[in-house]
Amino acid sequence: MKKFDRLIARRGYANRSEALRDLVRGELVQEEWADAEAETVGTITLVYDHHTHDLDERLVDIQHHQHDLVISSMHVHLTARMCLEVLAVRGKAKAIQALADKLIATKGVRHGKLTATTTAKTLA
């Protein structure tokens, strides 16, 4: 419990109950995403070299073909070559995972990550 108390103090929780609440919610979100047909939300983060031949166009094309899932995007220039793109996505867990996999696997993407979260409809 001492280790747990140090952890929750570092993260700024007021008490153990608040920390446990978030741990439980995290597990509930994972369960939600395990249901392929569940309505979910999340972000897809990509870091890529925009000098890679037609990579920008390929990434945009993939997103346009899944326009029903991509609800917003942000593009940031990290360096003269490297870009960060963050997509807010909403839809069925299975479809979002497939979109993330396709974008992340695109040649030229240096790093990508799907962050799964929840609409909070099922959380009390």
Q: What is the mean pLDDT of residues 2-8?
A: 89
Tell me the chain's radius of gyration from C-alpha atoms: 18
| Three-state SS sequence of 14-53 | CCHHHHHHHHHHHHHHHHHHHCCCCEEEEEEEEEEECCCC
Residue 122 has pLDDT above 80, yes or no: no
Q: What is the mean pLDDT of residues 68-73?
A: 96
Average pLDDT over the chain reads 93
Binning pLDDT at 50, 70 and 90, where does residue 124 land?
Answer: low
Half-sphere exposure of 35 (CA within 13 A, CB side): 12
Q: What is the mean pLDDT of residues 71-86?
A: 96
pLDDT tens, residue by residue, 85-118: 999 999 999 999 999 999 999 999 999 999 999 9
Tell me which of 3.30.70.1150, 3.40.50.1000, 3.40.50.620, 3.20.20.140 is the CATH number of domain 38-117: 3.30.70.1150
Residue 40 has pLDDT above 90, yes or no: yes
Which residues belong to CATH 3.30.70.1150 in the chain?
38-117
